[in-house]
Amino acid sequence: MLNLKEKRVRRSLKTRKRISELNVIRLSIHRTNLHIYAQLIDNKNNKTIASASTLEPEIRKGISSGSNITAAALIGKRIAEKGKECGISNIAFDRAGYKYHGRVRALADAARENGLKF
């Protein structure tokens, strides 16, 4: 029997394989019980282009907790702004096997509203 983490990792590997075939920039997220992280990754060159998280000092001032939907929406907005600064508009969303609801959905919606196209 697989535990929850092994199931999530298995789902994420399938998704990453499909995304790598598309040859586009990948918006990868990671969430913990306390924080949420987002990265724009170029799979061709294996480089992280931009990143945002609830650990950044500017973000921490504006939120009470790093583990809620409002914090995730701020991270989505911030990563979209950083992506636009780098000239990125089309991306593939890598939810890392997490279900598309709650904080994951809030981050994705905020990134879409601020200029990234999935």
Q: What is the pLDDT of residues 17-72, one digit of tens each?
A: 999 999 999 999 999 999 999 999 999 999 999 999 999 999 999 899 999 999 99
pTM for this entry: 0.92
Quote the tokens at residue 52.
């945002």
Complete DSSP assignment for 42-93: ETTTTEEEEEEETTSHHHHHH-S-SSSHHHHHHHHHHHHHHHHHTT--BEEE
Q: How confident is the model at residue 2 (pLDDT cuts 50, 70, 90)?
A: confident
Percent of the chain with pLDDT over 70: 100
